[in-house]
């Protein structure tokens, strides 16, 4: 059978990327088309390795070839990915900055940040994590790195800090530079300088996603980070109680202010329901049900998922090995699903910016 590359591209031009609402050929997602007799192979370049629609897109490609060219063709689809970026995150080599925030303290923002970073890395992305919670840096404990000190070197008279690598991601915490037993009386300008150093003076290398755990509330650090670096988007963590939801709303309001203007990637509801480990199908909505989802639809922002209240989540954080590293989907499923949705929203946000300017695909 004589098929041409043009025929293949024409057929695949009928497959729409469901999130980005354009066809795969227009989005430049089809590459390496090889044809030999009745054997065809091509690559589909997804915008994130965490793409939740991978199987659906592959199926749609196979169907398009069968429908528009022939069912007799032996098709090999190589699903691969190249994370998109908006121009210039301000940190060399870093494609996307994801800020994790909460209106209220203690809702599980650090737990979500850590498990989000590790879940994205598990899907194959290159990930970094900054703990910018100067009032209660908890990432050293959650990674079993209490007392760790990152290496620093001089490069042309400039200090370069080497992020610590653990569980496949690079991380820096403000807690690596302070004594956990001594309270640090941070003043506004000191805070701003210290936090900017975590971004600017560190050797992050090439990263698809840099996750930033912000302090609770809306303060100096939020303003420093969002005004110094073009943050791709913010993930807002809440619990189901009304007090937490009201503060989450304020947090979202801050990111949406004209002076800040950071896209909201979505709301994560943590501690949504209690699940006893011995009865994993039982869900007890002890703090009320559906509050996070309702807030998301009210504010017209995505809902990124419900994370159960499970003792293992707390235990694993305290033990320095976050739950997402477990191979048990009962324990890590909710975080993996949330991470896929976050990555999906990053891709959508980048594509929207591309409609107005230029998205780089490298």
Ligand X SMILES: Nc1ncnc2c1ncn2[C@@H]1O[C@H](COP(=O)(O)OP(=O)(O)OP(=O)(O)O)[C@@H](O)[C@H]1O
The residue among 37 and 328 lying less far from ligand X, judged by its C-beta, is: 328
Using CB under 6 A as the binding rule, whether residue 109 contacts ligand X is answered as yes
For the chain, the distance separating the N- and C-terminal CA atoms, rounded to the nearest angstrom, is 35
Using CB under 6 A as the binding rule, whether residue 110 contacts ligand X is answered as yes
**Length of the chain measured in residues:** 362
Using CB under 6 A as the binding rule, whether residue 310 contacts ligand X is answered as yes
Residue 214 DSSP symbol? P
By CB under 6 A, name the one of 150, 216, 233, 266 that touches ligand X. 216
For 78, the 3-state DSSP assignment is strand
Using CB under 6 A as the binding rule, whether residue 106 contacts ligand X is answered as yes
Tell me the Cα Rg of the chain.
Answer: 22
Using CB under 6 A as the binding rule, whether residue 317 contacts ligand X is answered as yes
The whole-angstrom separation of Cα 277 and Cα 282 is 9
Using CB under 6 A as the binding rule, whether residue 108 contacts ligand X is answered as yes
DSSP E strands: which ranges in 83-206? 85-86, 94-101, 127-131, 152-155, 158-161, 164-166, 169-173
Task: Please tell me whether 188 is known to bind a ligand.
Answer: no
Minimum distance of ligand X from residue 225's CB (angstroms): 15
Minimum distance of ligand X from residue 265's CB (angstroms): 17
Task: Please tell me whether 122 is known to bind a ligand.
Answer: no
For the record, the structure tokens of 4 come out as 């041409």
**Binding span for ligand X by CB under 6 A among 21-29, 71-79, 84-92, 101-109:** 101-109
265, 302 contact by CB (below 8 A): yes
Task: Please tell me whether 104 is known to bind a ligand.
Answer: yes
Task: Please tell me whether 110 is known to bind a ligand.
Answer: yes
Using CB under 6 A as the binding rule, whether residue 13 contacts ligand X is answered as no
By CB under 6 A, name the one of 19, 52, 82, 105 that touches ligand X. 105
CA-nearest of 143, 134, 107, 175 to 316 is 143
The residue among 106 and 180 lying less far from ligand X, judged by its C-beta, is: 106
**Binding span for ligand X by CB under 6 A among 6-14, 25-33, 182-190, 303-311:** 303-311
**Binding span for ligand X by CB under 6 A among 130-138, 192-200, 243-251, 337-345:** 130-138
237, 104 contact by CB (below 8 A): no
Using CB under 6 A as the binding rule, whether residue 129 contacts ligand X is answered as no
211, 116 contact by CB (below 8 A): yes
The residue among 12 and 107 lying less far from ligand X, judged by its C-beta, is: 107
The residue among 136 and 189 lying less far from ligand X, judged by its C-beta, is: 136
Cα-based distances in Å from 251 to 68, 131, 260, 315: 49, 18, 12, 28
For 37, the 3-state DSSP assignment is coil
The whole-angstrom separation of Cα 262 and Cα 209 is 16
Burial class of 122 by CB neighbour count within 10 A (0 to 12, 13 to 18, 19+): buried
Using CB under 6 A as the binding rule, whether residue 115 contacts ligand X is answered as no
By CB under 6 A, name the one of 107, 132, 338, 354 that touches ligand X. 107
Annotated binding-site members: 103-110
Residues that bind ligand X (CB under 6 A): 102, 105-111, 133, 136, 138, 216, 270-271, 307, 309-310, 313-314, 317
Residues contributing to the annotated binding site for ATP: 103-110
């Amino acid at each position: 059978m004589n098929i041409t590359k043009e025929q293949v591209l024409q057929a695949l031009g009928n497959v729409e990327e469901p999130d980005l609402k354009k066809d795969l050929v227009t989005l430049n997602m089809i590459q390496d088309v090889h044809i030999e007799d009745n054997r065809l192979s091509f690559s589909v370049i997804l915008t994130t390795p965490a793409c939740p629609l991978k199987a659906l897109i592959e199926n749609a490609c196979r169907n398009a070839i069968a429908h528009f060219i022939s069912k007799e063709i032996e098709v090999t689809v190589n699903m691969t990915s190249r994370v998109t970026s908006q121009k210039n995150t301000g940190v060399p080599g870093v494609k996307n900055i994801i800020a994790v925030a909460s209106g209220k303290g203690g809702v599980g923002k650090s737990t979500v940040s850590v498990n989000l970073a590790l879940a994205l890395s598990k899907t194959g992305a290159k990930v970094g994590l900054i703990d910018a919670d100067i009032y209660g840096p908890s990432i050293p404990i959650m990674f079993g790195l209490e007392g760790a000190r990152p290496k620093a070197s001089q490069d042309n008279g400039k200090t370069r800090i080497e992020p610590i690598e653990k569980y496949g991601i690079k991380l820096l915490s403000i807690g690596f530079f302070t004594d956990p037993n001594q309270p640090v009386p941070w003043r506004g300008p000191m805070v701003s300088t210290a936090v900017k150093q975590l971004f600017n003076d560190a050797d992050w290398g090439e990263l698809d996603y840099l996750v930033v755990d912000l302090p609770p509330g809306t303060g100096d650090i939020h303003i420093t980070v969002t005004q110094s670096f073009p943050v791709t988007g913010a993930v807002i963590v809440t619990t189901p109680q009304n007090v937490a939801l009201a503060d989450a709303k304020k947090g979202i309001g801050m990111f949406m202010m004209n002076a800040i203007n950071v896209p909201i990637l979505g709301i994560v509801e943590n501690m949504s329901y209690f699940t006893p480990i011995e009865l994993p199908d039982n869900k007890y909505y002890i703090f009320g049900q559906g509050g996070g989802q309702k807030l998301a639809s009210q504010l017209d922002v995505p809902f990124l998922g419900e994370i159960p209240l499970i003792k293992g989540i707390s235990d694993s954080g305290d033990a320095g090995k976050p739950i997402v590293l477990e191979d048990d989907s009962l324990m890590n499923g909710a975080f993996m699903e949330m991470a896929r949705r976050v990555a999906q929203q990053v891709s959508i946000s980048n594509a929207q910016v591309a409609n107005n300017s230029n998205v780089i695909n490298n």
